[in-house]
Amino acid sequence: DAKTTQPTSMDCAEGRAANLPCNHSTISGNEYVYWYRQIHSQGPQYIIHGLKNNETNEMASLIITEDRKSSTLILPHATLRDTAVYYCIVKGNTPLVFGKGTRLSVIA
Partner 1 sequence: KAGVTQTPRYLIKTRGQQVTLSCSPISGHRSVSWYQQTPGQGLQFLFEYFSETQRNKGNFPGRFSGRQFSNSRSEMNVSTLELGDSALYLCASTAGVAASTDTQYFGPGTRLTVL
**Is position 8 an interface residue for partner 1 (rule: CB under 8 A)?**
no
**Rounded Cα distance, 89 and 98, in Å:** 6
**Given candidates 4, 44, 83, 104, which one binds partner 1 under the rule CB under 8 A?**
44
**Is position 50 an interface residue for partner 1 (rule: CB under 8 A)?**
no
φ, ψ at 82 (rounded to 5°): -85, -5
**Given candidates 1, 41, 66, 67, which one binds partner 1 under the rule CB under 8 A?**
41
Nearest Cα neighbor of 18 from 89, 68, 83, 66 is 83
CB of 94 to partner 1, least distance (A): 7
**Rounded Cα distance, 101 and 108, in Å:** 22
**Given candidates 43, 66, 67, 81, which one binds partner 1 under the rule CB under 8 A?**
43
